[in-house]
Amino acid sequence: MDRIAPTRRPEGPPQGYHQWRSLLFAHWEVPLDVLRPLVPSRLSLDTFEGRAFVGLVPFTMRGIRPRWLPAVPGFSAFHETNVRTYVHLDGESPGVWFFSLDAANAAAVLGARVGWSLPYFLAEMELDHRGSSIRYASRRVMPGPVPADLSARWTIGDELGAAQPGTLEHFLCERYFLYARRGDRLLRGQVHHTPYPLRSATLESLSQSLLPAAGFPVRGAPMNVLYSPGVDVEVFPLTEVAEDADAPEGGSA
């Protein structure tokens, strides 16, 4: 599968701009038979050496604005946490499937639900960043399922640089396509940014019910934890993925 082409900037102007900051990438391995029923059948599960993963990614959004407007105070910055896995479409366009995206901004939640058909939820959130230590907390307010909470504290470690193609770190972090569903239609969006500058991270504490709320009763600590100070992002419009009568039903890769 070509995992380099999605990293290249698509032609044309973006729809908008984001700044993603203070990202934690925490991942657990999950059985394929648990994951498969939770993803649309048109999408195939994207795996690394036959292994599937679900990720918990808390971070901060800043500088959110459409291409034709400046950032608006009260809307352009908030915390967010997403629960996601990795998919592809008929062996191409490897991307992200979101199970939930909790955000601390009611207007953004409504806009993303209506405009992007993404499963956003309103949450109360806070982030405290002191030196190399970050404390992050989230509590879903609406809609359900609840509880869907997160309380985590981690220490930022050594610089790792950008993930190299073919590594697990590249597979988990360097994702430029997202998929969504609007009724029976499959949609695909694309973002562009420079590769994540990655650092190691140590989870000092973690308590969460976001993964169980999404259908994943995971236990124990994540098997992979990474941190990035962030990237500046160009966001391109959603487009409908045309039906392919010859395409097989979704399955694992």
Q: Looking at residue 38, which CATH number applies to its domain?
A: 2.40.400.10
Percent of the chain topping pLDDT 90: 81
Question: Is 98 inside any structural domain?
Answer: yes
CA distances from 251 to 29, 38, 53, 87, 242 (A): 17, 12, 15, 10, 19
Query: Looking at the predicted structure, is the pLDDT value of residue 214 above 90?
Result: yes
Report which of residues 225 and 112 the model is more confident about: 225
Task: Count the Cβ atoms, other than its own, within 10 Å of residue 94.
Answer: 22
Quickly state the pLDDT bin for 76 (edges 50, 70, 90).
confident
pTM more than 0.85:
yes
Give the structural domain span for 53. Answer: 5-240
Query: Looking at the predicted structure, is the pLDDT value of residue 249 above 80?
Result: no
Rg of the chain over all Cα atoms, to the nearest angstrom? 17
Question: Counting Cβ atoms within 10 Å, is residue 187 exposed (0-12), middle (13-18) or buried (19+)?
Answer: middle
For the chain, the average pLDDT equals: 91
pLDDT tens-place string over residues 158-212 = 999 999 999 999 999 999 999 999 988 999 999 999 999 999 999 999 999 999 9
Query: What is the number of structural domains in the chain?
Result: 1
The residue whose two tokens read 């629960």 is: 83
CA distances from 170 to 47, 162, 233 (A): 12, 8, 17
Question: Is 200 inside any structural domain?
Answer: yes
Quickly state the pLDDT bin for 116 (edges 50, 70, 90).
confident
The residue whose two tokens read 């009260």 is: 74
Question: Is 251 inside any structural domain?
Answer: no
DSSP state of 7: G
HSE, side-chain direction, 13 A CA sphere, residue 91: 3
Quickly state the pLDDT bin for 71 (edges 50, 70, 90).
low
Question: Counting Cβ atoms within 10 Å, is residue 146 exposed (0-12), middle (13-18) or buried (19+)?
Answer: middle
Question: Is 215 inside any structural domain?
Answer: yes
